[in-house]
Chain A
Amino acid sequence: TQLLEQSPQFLSIQEGENLTVYCNSSSVFSSLQWYRQEPGEGPVLLVTVVTGGEVKKLKRLTFQFGDARKDSSLHITAAQPGDTGLYLCAGAKTSGSARQLTFGSGTQLTVLP
């Protein structure tokens, strides 16, 4: 069974601060995806990382995939209240023709104005 642990579970910061969310596993994933989920809605894709050591940037968000493809991080620079939400990481297993995703339990981020 592949498990993904996210930390922290809850994070409350002031507008303008930086933060990092972590996603860790003892298993290797073929790729890892980050989603954002609002209450009562489906996960919305932010990014997919595929190569070990890969870094992707989306405006103020920086995503990194670990060299061994077992962990990932999401760094937000100068957080804004609009960044408030539940951030989920999800890893795709390395075998099989269709890639089922294993989800972490999420990090609930609150950015206070």
Chain B
Amino acid sequence: EPEVTQTPSHQVTQMGQEVILRCVPISNHLYFYWYRQILGQKVEFLVSFYNNEISEKSEIFDDQFSVERPDGSNFTLKIRSTKLEDSAMYFCASGLAGGPETQYFGPGTRLTVL
């Protein structure tokens, strides 16, 4: 069964460093998402991406964040200058165009900012 994959599974970085989190969405999906989950808290929406541009973003998704679909398979989230409070699980999700808004989630990348 097709699934969303994410790499790396765990990323440790120093405050102020740039990180890139990578995702391979399900191949025939056209909507792509990033969510994050701080330990012990709810899953929170960051950004949605469709037709090579951002569709919606939350207030969390500030100028330090960016997303890109550099080729036909990868979808990336970049944090330019990480802060301690960026430590969280980051989940990529993808969904089909049209119909119910079912989203399929990847296993997540645990980001630890020291």
Chain A residues in 8 Å Cβ range of B105: 35, 42-45
A104 CB contacts on chain B under 8 angstroms: 42
A40 within 8 A of B: yes
**B42/A105 in contact, CB under 8 A:** yes
- A107: Cβ under 8 A from any B Cβ: no
Q: Inside 8 A of A90's CB, which chain B residues have their CB?
A: 43
Contact B100 A50 (CB under 8 A): yes
A37 to chain B, nearest CB (A): 8
- The answer to whether B45 and A101 have CB atoms under 8 Å apart is yes
CA of A96 to CA of B54, assembled, Å? 12
Contact B102 A98 (CB under 8 A): no
Q: Please state if A48 and B100 are interface contacts (CB–CB under 8 Å).
A: yes
Tell me which residues across on chain A come within 8 A of B22, comparing CB atoms: none
Q: Does B31 contact A (CB under 8 A)?
A: yes
Considering the chains assembled together, what is the distance between the CA atoms of A105 and B43 in angstroms?
8
Contact status B100-A98, CB under 8 Å: no
A-B contacts, 30 listed (Cβ < 8 Å): A30-B101, A31-B101, A40-B108, A41-B108, A42-B91, A42-B105, A43-B43, A43-B91, A44-B105, A45-B102, A45-B104, A45-B105, A48-B100, A48-B101, A90-B43, A96-B55, A97-B55, A98-B31, A98-B50, A98-B55, A99-B31, A99-B95, A100-B33, A100-B48, A100-B58, A101-B101, A102-B45, A103-B44, A104-B42, A105-B41
Residues of B within 8 A of A (CB): 4, 6, 31, 33, 35, 41-45, 48-50, 55-56, 58, 89, 91, 95, 100-108, 110
